[in-house]
Every structure is written in structure tokens, then in C-alpha cells.
Amino acid sequence: MSEVEWNLDDIVTPLLVWYRKSARKLPWRETKNPYAIWISEIMLQQTRVETVIGYYERFLKTLPSVEALAGADEEVLLKLWEGLGYYSRVRNMQVAAREILNRFEGNFPSSYQELLSLRGIGPYTAGAIASIAFSLPHAAVDGNVLRVMSRLSRDGRDIMLQTTKQDWQHRLAEILPEDSGTFNQALMELGACICVPNGAPRCMQCPLREKCQAYRYHVIAHYPVKSQKKIRKVENINVFFMIKKGEVALRKRPDRGLLSSLWELPNSEGGNDVLEVLQAWGITEAEIIEMKSQKHIFTHIEWRMSPYFIWVKNGENSQFNWVSLEDMRENYALPTAFRKICAEGLKYMEETNEL
């Protein structure tokens, strides 16, 4: 790491002044309720702010407390999360809510270590809740913060390494002002809106421009240093939007693995003969219409999907749940990969006046 040519605590005042003037108005910034802050922080992992707002408001309206979350039916929980992806996040939240009821008598834990002990809460989330909800002196270091700090200091270390994150967490904790939560949010806001992850940073709008070593030496494009992601495994699958007497076929995925226990459209390994697959499922007569191919990217896997619209005219299969279209929309949580194909299938039904 290069020699820093300024004191780290010099960033505090200009950053707070900028934030108080320029921060986006977001619903979770209007509260000190640790439960609401926790929900927002988990939702914001891997998800854009614009997407989260509606989910956040619906979630809190339906499950406004730790007790409500702990006691929620899983189908309700997954439906509230439908489309956000990474469903283990919401399952972990429910486990943590039950831990809060059992271990903390329903009182949301206020110490960093207690927060860290809950399922699904790591150092960043614990630091965010502790500082924002309880004004405790803990840094919250996410990808936005690491990007900002690596450019400010010309830090050439890999930001994907835990040692890099831990070092910045320690160093930033040493300069936190009394309003630690606002400072943490300001630093994250700077990374999200000015020192952006994709495209050129908006340096001329940055309140820390004059202190930024990467800007001073014209090497912004060199930072942050980030190790390359592993190449995704590609899987080809056939997906079937099957309609019989106005009802659509759904089934549950296995209890373990990708998208575990979620509802899905029936599917098979790509390359298999579609007629043979349908016959193996007990469907003896059907009209088959090939739809536009789709692609869906997970963290480590890429699905290349060949979707088919299937009018089932004869045949039974007990492994599927046949549900009405309204029931599917209202009560069944489908992963985004399948929701896109459902949308295409419903569009086709509208065009053929079958809805």
C-alpha cells in the first residue's frame, strides 16, 4: 500500500457536510428502529436501491416486528422476497428473528458482538446496525467503502481479501465521529453515487477530490484492485410453461442446493427430447410451442434456458401442483429465472385470447 499523504481523519468533516446536503432520501434513513435497519441492510446486499424500496415497504407492512418475522409462514416469507434472489438471506433472517426471541427475550441486541452472533449477520451488517441504530463506534465496510478508500489512499491490496476489509474496518473505526451511523452512511453513499462501481467516477462532484491520491496522480482506473471471479459453470435446461384447463404446473425444488425449496416451472436437462420428457411425466397429448430462449445468471452458475409453452390436452402427473394463474401470482414465490418465462407464457395466452 502506498504512503498516505494526508491524515485519514481529514475526510470526516467534508464528507459529513456533503452527505447532509446531498444524501438521497430513502425510507430506512428515516428511522432508528434496528429491526427496520436490519431488513434494509439485508435487502440491499446484491440488490439495487431502486429495487429494494418497494420490497422494504411491503415487507415491513406485512411483518412489522421481530415477532411477526419469527412466526411467519415460509410461503408468505418467500412471496415477500420473490424477485430479490439469494433466498437464503430471508431464511437466515427468520432464523435470526427466532434467536432474538429465544436468546434476547425479543429485545433487538444492541452490541456489535451480539449482532454478529445472529444467523446471516456478518461484520458489515453488524457494524451498520450498531452504528446507525445505536450510535456505537463501529465501521461498516462494504464494497462501496472499499472502493472509496482504495482510491483515496492508492491502496493496491486486493479488496476481495478479508485482511484488506478487516484493516479498513479497524482504521475507519479510529476516526469515527460521535455520529458514527451518519458517517458510515455518508461513506457508503459516496461510493454508490460518486465513486461509482461501473463507469467513470464523478470526481468533479466529489467532496474528497482534493484529498484523493488516485485523483492527484491520475491513476483512478488502477483502483480498486480486485481478484478475478471464477468462471461460471454453464447449464442448459428446458423449461416448460404447462397449461391444463386454465391451470399452470408448478413443483418444488429439492430441499438442498440452488434455489432450495422454492417453487419452479417443470424443467429438464437441455438436449433431452421434449416429447420424451413429457411422456415420462405422463403427458400423452399436448401442443408444444417453442418460446424465446432466456438466460439467467447466478453467482457461480449461468442457466441457458430453452422455454416451451405446453397446452396439455391429456395426461396426469401427481408430481406437479396445478394452480390457477391468480393463485400463482398471489401465493407462490417463483425465482426470477422462472418468472420471466411465466411472463412470456402469459403474454402468449393474451395474444391468443386464452386468458
Q: Is the pLDDT of residue 216 over 90?
A: yes
Pairing mode, if any, of strands 294-297 and 301-315? antiparallel
Q: Which CATH superfamily is domain 233-351 in?
A: Nucleoside Triphosphate Pyrophosphohydrolase (3.90.79.10)
- pLDDT for position 222: 94
Q: Which of 5, 41, 235, 285 is catalytic?
A: 41
Q: Is the pLDDT of residue 4 over 50?
A: no
CA distance 65 to 58: 13
pLDDT, mean of residues 286-308: 93
Instruction: Give, for 57, the enclosing helix (H) or strand (E).
Output: helix 49-62
CA distance 129 to 180: 11
DSSP lists the bridge partners of residue 315 as 283
Question: Which cell numbers in the block locate residue 30?
Answer: 428515516
Question: Which cell numbers in the block locate residue 256?
Answer: 438442498
* Alpha-carbon distance values, 206 to 6, 16, 197, 200 (Å): 17, 12, 14, 12
Q: Is the pLDDT of residue 284 over 70?
A: yes
% residues pLDDT > 90 (the chain): 80
- pLDDT for position 272: 82
Encode pLDDT of 257-271 as tens digits: 889 889 999 999 988
- pLDDT for position 317: 66
Q: Is 349 left (phi over 0), alpha (psi -120 to 50) or beta?
A: alpha
DSSP lists the bridge partners of residue 307 as 239
SS3 assignment, position 346: helix
Q: Residue 3: which pLDDT band, with cuts at 50, 70 and 90? A: very low
Q: Is the pLDDT of residue 337 over 80?
A: yes
Give CA angle at 143 (153, 304), nearest 5°: 135
Which residue ranges make up each domain of the chain?
8-222, 233-351
Calculate Rg over the CA atoms of the chain.
Answer: 24
Closest CA to 309 of 268, 261, 355, 248: 248
Average pLDDT over all residues of the chain: 92
For the question of residue 41 being annotated catalytic, the response is yes
Which burial class, exposed, middle or buried, applies to 146 when counting CB atoms under 10 A from its CB (0-12, 13-18, 19+)? Answer: buried
Q: Which residues of 6-42 are buried (b: 16+ CB within 10 A; e: fewer)?
A: eeeeebbebbbebbeeeeeeeebeeeeebbbbbbbbb
Q: Is 123 left (phi over 0), alpha (psi -120 to 50) or beta?
A: alpha
Lowest-pLDDT choice from 37-51, 210-224, 248-262: 248-262
CA distance 277 to 282: 9
Q: Is the pLDDT of residue 34 over 60?
A: yes
Closest CA to 224 of 283, 338, 142, 311: 142
Q: What is the topology classification, in CATH, of domain 8-222? A: Endonuclease III; domain 1 (1.10.340)
Do 52 and 28 meet the contact criterion of CB atoms below 8 Å apart? no
CA distance 134 to 334: 36
Give 152-163 as a DSSP string.
HHT--SBTTSHH
